[in-house]
A and B are shown apart, each in its own frame.
Chain A
């Protein structure tokens, strides 16, 4: 087999740069390990779109059309993913998307190794509602992730007989959160679901800490801020201790006590030195590159169809544990972990579930009888 190039498309600057840098680090680390074991057969090519949608398109086009790469690992936001997918389809490539997302997608040309709502939001609510109550306040980034997560939350809360006390949206870079905090203070929800991203999320967590300092009813143990995308890599931006006690769901935490993770962490320490704490973004990008590279090596070709068939065979051993990729949905089954942020910006895992098969269109959540659409008159 000739050397195969894999495109890496992450933004290391811009409002979600922290996630992009972490993802790129994870990808780089995986390529180094692949090189150590297989030489130069699998090579990375990095393009940084700087958080600009047109640059994602240019980057993906040059990888797929001009250079003929078949595999791209990348994109963080659903906006970028949706822009890149038509190009990947056109050139019959494979996009490896590894971020938690809002579901309602299952493309043949995409491998999804990030969690969708039945793997993050639904188990999160299963945990929260009996413990904190059914009257949450929803805040979110003003785009499809925030909108759709909050729409589904509303549906789940209505089904549970609860009530949504408020729903507010902020652009990634909006840090004026005072009015939302005032509203939350007045309405006194059971908990706050935050689907905010970037600087808006950091500002919100800071202001919420101050609210809790003023009024103990808003301390994390009584009214936590919970999220499905806040990870180790962003807590540094939030500030030490600011988010302590708040909760986050993820399929990986640095503090996971599994044999796979302890071995992985030992390699991380050898490479980055002690003290490097990694996040779900790092681990997922690492796993995606490893899965992609190893499947190509095992198949002896980077032909996307062949690679895809190989993926859905036996379970793949990753830092998330053994991962199975469903041949129908192209989604990975993933474990659910709930982490509580510690004073030193790590996560203490307080609840876990073994791997949950992805249900991107939530078809299995309610078994409904076939529709009654016959004309009655």
Chain B
């Protein structure tokens, strides 16, 4: 860990009935620099905090205004139960980690650090996947552009591909985008070599 995780100025919402257990959690989160709200009512979908901690023992679907995979922030589940149904529920809400109940002071910081890190990792994977899907979708265009260059310049496929790639690198654009311009005629055919 290169940089000490620091939550100063972050906002956390605890979705839990206010009771002694949430007091300890609130105290510990404040020590870590969080501004804490405790509520036992659905989260406002518009004004979101930076992190949500939700009671997975008694939570219900409408508490969190999203479908699990699309959780727009790190979710930490507070769990005392071992019932498979509750474990499934917290995963469906997009939880990144669990803090066991009763909450011990030493469990809070590690869980928050981990939840934020896992959330960021999920985000990165998601956007990488989107990028790759887009590229796969546009692959026929690359093929078409290579064909066009082959015919126009009397080159073999490998040479034509190299020319296309060089042009993309030169323009600092994805190959798919350059290919689309060539196929559409918006881009003059690149010269060989």
Contact = CB atoms under 8 A, between A and B. Distances in A.
Contacts of B27: 108, 328
Tell me what chain A mostly uses at the interface: helix, strand, loop, or mixed. Answer: loop
Interface of A: 82, 85-86, 89, 104-108, 151-152, 154-155, 158, 328-329, 360-371, 373-377
A89 B104 contact: yes
Contact of A108 (B74, B105, B126): B105
Given A329-B31, A363-B33, A364-B8, A373 B50 contact: yes
B24 interface: yes
Nearest to B108: A106
B1 to A, nearest CB: 7
Interface in B10-66: 10-11, 24, 27-28, 30-33, 50
Given A107-B106, A108-B24, A373-B50, A368 B30 contact: no
Interface residues of B, number: 32
Contacts of B130: 377
Nearest to A107: B105
B109 interface: yes
A86 to B, nearest CB: 7
B72 interface: yes
A370 B105 contact: no
Contact of B6 (A82, A328, A365): A365
A361 B109 contact: yes
Given A89-B104, A328-B27, A363 B7 contact: yes
6 contacts: A152-B4, A155-B4, A370-B10, A371-B116, A373-B123, A377-B127
Contacts of B11: 370
B72 A374 contact: yes
A154 B1 CA distance: 10
A328 B30 contact: yes
B87 interface: no
A2 B152 CA distance: 102
